[in-house]
């Protein structure tokens, strides 16, 4: 269940469950706890398939947050959930999360990679900053390609990576 660390997976999971239990009883009013719990329960459910974690995930998914890193936590939670293959996964929740992931991949990677003059796929509203052009931001498209096999996600990822590795609009 855990790449490269099979002998430690049970111990790590037990520690994660303990940490989750502690955190679930030690937060203060006003904390952005549901956002962190969404991320945690997605991975706890992915590992264990326990419906308790899926329940927490489904409830916290309905809530929103504008706290720092909330969007990133939410994305990783969604990706963890949609790449889970337990028989007891809630199909409606998975479809909802898949829609979130698909919209992100289409809007932040595929569409910009097709329409930008320099063919890099990343959010239209993300400014081009010093150092920003060092890492292709293609994770949303790669996840969708893995799940759907749709070539547009792979193509947008390759085009974006080509740009970051020195490509240019003329491909020379």
DSSP notation for 49-65:
--HHHHHHHHHHHT---
According to the model, what pLDDT value does residue 20 have? 94
Q: How confident is the model at residue 90 (pLDDT cuts 50, 70, 90)?
A: very high
- Of 58, 32, 36, which is closest to residue 45 (Cα–Cα)? 58
Lowest mean pLDDT among 86-90, 118-122, 149-153: 118-122
Of 31 and 94, the one with more pLDDT: 94
Question: Mean pLDDT throughout 132-158?
Answer: 91
According to the model, what pLDDT value does residue 7 have? 81
Owner of token pair 């829609």: 99
Q: Is the pLDDT of residue 111 over 90?
A: yes
Lowest mean pLDDT among 10-19, 67-76, 77-86, 139-148: 67-76
Q: Which residues contact 1 (CB under 8 A, 6 or more apart)?
A: 9, 47
Question: Mean pLDDT throughout 133-152?
Answer: 91
Q: Which residues contact 156 (CB under 8 A, 6 or more apart)?
A: 109, 110, 113, 114, 121, 138, 141
Q: How confident is the model at residue 68 (pLDDT cuts 50, 70, 90)?
A: confident
C-alpha to C-alpha distance for 53 and 41, rounded to whole angstroms: 5
The 3-state DSSP composition of the chain as helix, strand, coil percent (nearest 5) reads 65, 0, 35
What is the Cβ-side half-sphere exposure of residue 6, based on CA atoms within 13 angstroms?
1
Asked if 33 contacts 27 with a C-beta cutoff of 8 angstroms, the reply is: yes
Owner of token pair 């309905």: 62
Q: How confident is the model at residue 86 (pLDDT cuts 50, 70, 90)?
A: very high
C-alpha to C-alpha distance for 164 and 149, rounded to whole angstroms: 23
According to the model, what pLDDT value does residue 116 have? 83
Question: Mean pLDDT throughout 110-131?
Answer: 79
On the 0-12 / 13-18 / 19+ scale of CB atoms within 10 A, 155 is: middle
Of 72 and 58, the one with more pLDDT: 58
Of 82 and 166, the one with more pLDDT: 82
């Amino acid at each position: 269940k855990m790449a490269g660390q099979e002998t430690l997976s049970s111990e790590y999971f037990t520690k994660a469950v303990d940490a989750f239990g502690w955190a679930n009883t030690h937060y203060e009013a006003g904390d952005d706890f549901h956002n962190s719990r969404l991320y945690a329960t997605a991975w706890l459910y992915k590992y264990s398939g326990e419906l308790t974690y899926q329940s927490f995930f489904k409830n916290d998914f309905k809530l929103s947050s504008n706290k720092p890193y909330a969007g990133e936590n939410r994305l990783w939670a969604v990706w963890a959930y949609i790449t889970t293959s337990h028989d007891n996964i809630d199909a409606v929740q998975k479809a909802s999360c898949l829609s979130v992931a698909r919209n992100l991949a289409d809007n932040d990677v595929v569409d910009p990679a097709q329409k930008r003059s320099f063919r890099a796929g990343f959010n239209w509203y993300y400014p081009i900053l010093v150092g920003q052009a060092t890492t292709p931001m293609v994770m949303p498209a790669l996840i969708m390609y893995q799940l759907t096999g749709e070539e547009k996600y792979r193509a947008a990822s390759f085009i974006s990576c080509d740009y970051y590795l020195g490509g240019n609009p003329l491909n020379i």
